[in-house]
Structure 1
Amino acid sequence: MPLRPSDPRPALRRLRGASADAWTTWRRRTLFLAGGVCVGLAAVLMAKAADAAQEGFRHALHVSPALALLLCPAGFALAAWLARTVFPNAQGSGIPQVIAARALDDPGARHALISLKVAAGKIVVMCLGLLCGASIGREGPTVQVGAAIMAAFGRLSPERMRGLLLAGGAAGVAAAFNTPLAGIVFGIEELGRAYDSRGSALIVAAIVAAGLTSLAILGDYTYFGTTDARLTLTAGWLAVPVLGLAGGLAGGLFSRIVIVFARGLPGRAGRLVGRHAVLFAALCGLGLALCGLASGGTVYGTGYEEARAILHGAEAPRWDFAPLKFLATVLSSISGIPGGLFAPSLAVGAGLGAEASLLLPHVPVGALVLIGMVAYLAGVLQAPLTSFVIVTEMTQDHAMMIPLMLAALIADAVSKAVCRGGLYHTLAEVLVRRAAEPGA
Structure 2
Amino acid sequence: MVFWVGALLVGVTSVLFTKAANWAQAVFLHGSQHFWGLPLLLTPAGFVLCAWMAREFFPGSQGSGIPQAIAARHFERSADRHRLLSVKIALGKIFLTIIGLLCGASVGREGPTVQIGASFMLQVARLRGLQHERGLILAGSAAGIAAAFNAPLAGIVFAIEEMSRSFEARTNGLVLYAVIISGLVSLALVGNYTYFGTTSATVTTTLDWVLVLLCGVAGGLLGGLFGRLLLEGTNRAQAWLARQSRMRKLLLPLACGVLVALLGIATQGATFGTGYAQAHSAVAGHALAWYVWPAKFVANLATAISGIPGGIFAPSLAVGAGLGNWLAGFGMKAVSLGAVLGMAGYFAGVVQAPMTAFVIILEMTGNDSNVIPLMVASVLGFGASKLVMKQPLYHALSKNFMPPA
Matched, 1:394 2:337: no
In structure 1, what residue type is equivalent to 2:314? A
**Corresponding residue to 1:345 among 305, 316, 323:** 316
Alignment-derived partner of residue 257 in structure 2:
285
Q: Give the corresponding residue for 2:395.
A: 425
Two-structure CA RMSD over aligned residues (Å): 1.7
Q: Distance in 2 between matches of 1:295 and 1:271?
A: 35
Of the structure 1 ranges 257-266 and 328-337, higher mean CA displacement relative to structure 2 is found in 257-266
TM-score by length of 1: 0.89
Instruction: Give, in whole Å, the separation in 2 of the partners of 1:426 and 1:267.
Output: 16
Q: Which moved more, 1:290-299 or 1:258-267?
A: 258-267
Contact 2:197 2:283 in 1 (8 A): no
Counterparts in 2 of 1:358 and 1:75: CA distance versus 1, 3 Å? same
Corresponding residue of 2:48 = 77
1:366 aligns with 2:336: yes
1:52-97 CA-partner distances (Å, limit 9, x unpaired): 1111101221221111111110000000000100111000010000
Asked if 1 retains the 8 angstrom alpha-carbon contact of 2:348 and 2:378, the reply is yes
CA distances 1:277-303 after superposition (whole Å, capped 9, x unpaired): 322101100000111111111110000
Give the Cα–Cα distance (whole angstroms) in 2 for the partners of residues 268 and 50 of structure 1: 31
Asked if the contact 1:236/1:363 (under 8 Å) is kept, the reply is: no
Judging changes above 3 Å, is the alpha-carbon distance between structure 1 residues 274 and 420 closer, same or farther for their aligned structure 2 residues? farther
Distance 2:21 2:249 in 1: 25
State whether residues 251 and 415 of structure 1, in contact with CA within 8 Å, keep that contact through their aligned partners in structure 2.
yes
Q: What is the CA distance between 1:306 and its match in structure 2? A: 1.1
Residue ranges of structure 1 left out of the alignment (5+ in a row)? 1-29
2:396 and 2:332 map into 1 onto residues whose CA distance is 40
Whether contact under 8 Å (1:231, 1:363) holds in the other structure is: no
Q: Does 1:257 align with 2:203?
A: no
Of residues 219, 234, 237, the one that matches 1:247 is 219
Determine the structure 2 residue equivalent to 1:3. Answer: none
The alpha-carbon deviation at position 142 of structure 1 amounts to 0.3
Whether 1:300 and 2:300 are equivalent positions in the alignment is: no
Paired residue secondary structure (2:203): coil
Q: 2:83 aligns with which of 106, 112, 120?
A: 112
Pair 273,355 (structure 1): closer, same or farther in 2 beyond 3 Å: farther
CA contact (8 A) 1:264 1:270 kept: no
| Cα distance, 1:162–1:363 mapped onto 2, change above 3 Å | same
Q: 1:317 to 1:413 in 2, by over 3 A?
A: same
Q: Distance in 2 between matches of 1:217 and 1:128?
A: 24
1:306-321, aligned counterparts within 5 Å? 306-313=278-285, 315-321=286-292
Return the alpha-carbon distance in structure 1 between the equivalents of residues 189 and 125 of structure 2. Answer: 26
Equivalent residue, structure 2, for 1:385? 355
Q: Secondary structure at the match of 1:418?
A: coil
AA aligned to 2:96 is V
Aligned partners of 1:368, 1:268: CA distance in 2, in Å?
40
Distance 1:268 1:111, change over 3 A: closer
Aligned to 1:169: 141
Change (3 A) 1:43 1:264: same
User: 1:43 aligns to what?
Assistant: 14
Tell me the percent identity.
48
Give 5+ residue unaligned stretches, structure 2: none
Partners in 2 of 1:134 and 1:265 — Cα distance? Answer: 18
1:393 alignment partner, SS class: helix
* Count of equivalent residues: 404
If you compute each CA radius of gyration, which structure gives the higher value, 1 or 2? 1
> What is the identity, as a one-letter code, of the residue corresponding to 1:354?
N
User: Residues 408 and 262 (structure 1 numbering): CA distance in 2 closer, same or farther, change over 3 Å?
Assistant: same
Aligned to 1:193: 165
Deviates more, 1:275-284 or 1:345-354: 275-284
For the residue of structure 2 that corresponds to 1:159, the secondary structure is coil
Query: Which TM-score applies when normalising by structure 2?
Result: 0.96
* Structure-1 residue corresponding to 2:38: 67
| Other-structure match for 2:201 | 229
Name the structure 2 match of 1:17: none
* 1:267-278 equivalent positions in 2, closer than 5 A: 271=243, 276-278=248-250
CA distance in structure 1 between the aligned counterparts of 2:249 and 2:147, rounded to whole angstroms: 33
Deviation at 1:275, TM superposition (A): 7.7
Give the C-alpha shift of residue 241 in structure 1.
1.6
Check conservation: 2:145, 2:151, Cα contact below 8 A: yes
Q: Which residue of 1 aligns with 2:73?
A: 102
